[in-house]
Structure 1
């Protein structure tokens, strides 16, 4: 990174009724070896003290009245002032070197539009074998299946960072009003082959997605809708850029989550 100007990093945290989980996330950001240049917490019409908790921790609070992850995330991305926009969720806990790794990866590869890593569920009493199985069935499945659908790695919303310039291009194309996964939707609107998966960007996340079979089913259905919405024009076998990225060996299976 010698000779290059430092990257300014904004961290965006969409939050709806997260006053209990948000403090741990913000504390992990404050403990980074490379501190964020700003933290933007998007209060998504919360009915609790989310905004108060965020402000007390020194975050800049943005209010988004329209409920939903895409309106909240997009409001945060639009408000961010950094060269890089890192996105984590309110239940994300980051290891101390996470932002430093983001900065190094992006600074060393100017053609990379985004970097991402996996989430590791906090499963409490579940043993090592159980944790490995859950990770295989949920996290690995996401990266492999979404990677096949995209022709390259997707970003994972709880642990990703996107160049602000890439967001400014994609912001006019993403489906803010549709019932889609915002991270998968954004992945379809980033340049083919420009997302880098790095296992060193793993973060800790809560097991909320696993607690309700019905909720898990809704997530899977939303993911499928996200793919079907884009495939008429952006399937790997139809979009020349994605097809080229696939043949260059940049598809998800070349970098399997660990």
Structure 2
């Protein structure tokens, strides 16, 4: 069976991280390794992580992407699973991940949605429908495959090592999950499973300013991939890849 490393970027999130690590401790299928990347916290984030048995790695360059990439680089598991410090995975989250990767050896990335467990009802509702729902709908059309949701996904370690030198992991105000999705090779199989859910905090959407910041990051991430990663160029690249690999297969016209 594959080994699984869980990577959690964290910044001043001691209490929410404590809850997340408690959920990981209760998993039906325990993690083989948990890495918490401390992104310059001034609270007890690192102490909470160590007390829970996680490996703590310091990344002083602020930003989710620098922190996440540091964790992926350090991961030793066959599968790298990703949560945020405020994520609340159900007890079967890792069991679900493992089963799907074992059942589908060709799958490179598995992702699922998040469900808000706190926050203002109106703001959380808008975030759920417009932001998360709109993200999965619109970006699948653009990318040609499901997008990756950073608070709830897993990838084979080989996928990360194949893409790590192409992503913009040194940048702060971009969506790391969308940037990762843009740079995957055309042959990487990305699956979306609506049953693979985790609880997520509505904190980023608790104010209009926070909501606007996430939209600005989305605009920046999309703009930086144009025109090379436009939808029509991506479809053409996928067709070329399919044709090349179909030609390699015996008996396939």
Give the alignment's TM-score, normalised by structure 1.
0.87
Query: 1:188 aligned to 2:182?
Result: yes
Give the conservation status (yes or no) of the 8 Å contact 1:237–1:243.
no
Please state whether the residue corresponding to 1:62 is helix, strand or coil: strand
Q: CA deviation at 1:235?
A: 2.1
Question: Measured at CA, do residues 131 and 217 of structure 1 come closer, stay the same or move farther in structure 2, by a change above 3 Å?
Answer: closer
Paired residue for 1:143? 136
Equivalent in 20, 24, 29 of residue 25 of structure 1: 20
Aligned mates of 2:142, 2:156 — CA distance in 1? 23
Equivalent in 108, 111, 120 of residue 116 of structure 1: 111
Equivalent in 22, 38, 41 of residue 36 of structure 2: 41
Q: CA deviation at 1:65?
A: 1.0
Return 10-19 or 210-219, whichever deviates more.
210-219
Q: CA deviation at 1:126?
A: 3.4
Q: CA deviation at 1:177?
A: 2.6
Query: 1:216 aligned to 2:232?
Result: no
Equivalent in 168, 180, 190 of residue 161 of structure 2: 168
Q: Which runs of 5 or more residues in structure 2 are unaligned? A: 243-253
Aligned mates of 1:65, 1:131 — CA distance in 2? 31
Paired residue for 1:255? none
Give the conservation status (yes or no) of the 8 Å contact 2:124–2:205.
no
Cα deviation digits, residues 222-241 of structure 1 (max 9, x gap): 11221221232222311334
Paired residue for 1:256? none
RMSD over aligned Cα, in angstroms?
2.0
Q: CA deviation at 1:34?
A: 0.6
Q: CA deviation at 1:154?
A: 0.7
Cα deviation digits, residues 107-153 of structure 1 (max 9, x gap): 111221100000101136739xx866542222111111121221211
Aligned mates of 2:120, 2:75 — CA distance in 1? 38
Question: Measured at CA, do residues 151 and 45 of structure 1 come closer, stay the same or move farther in structure 2, by a change above 3 Å?
Answer: same
Aligned mates of 2:237, 2:102 — CA distance in 1? 24
Cα deviation digits, residues 131-184 of structure 1 (max 9, x gap): 665422221111111212212111100000011000001110000233310000
* Aligned residue pairs, count: 239
Aligned mates of 1:181, 1:191 — CA distance in 2? 18
Cα deviation digits, residues 231-256 of structure 1 (max 9, x gap): 3222231133445799xxxxxxxxxx
**Which residues in structure 2 correspond to 1:1-258 (within 5 Å)?**
6-123=1-118, 126=121, 134-178=127-171, 179-192=173-186, 194-239=189-234, 240-242=236-238
Please state whether the residue corresponding to 2:195 is helix, strand or coil: helix
Paired residue for 1:3? none
Give the alignment's TM-score, normalised by structure 2.
0.89
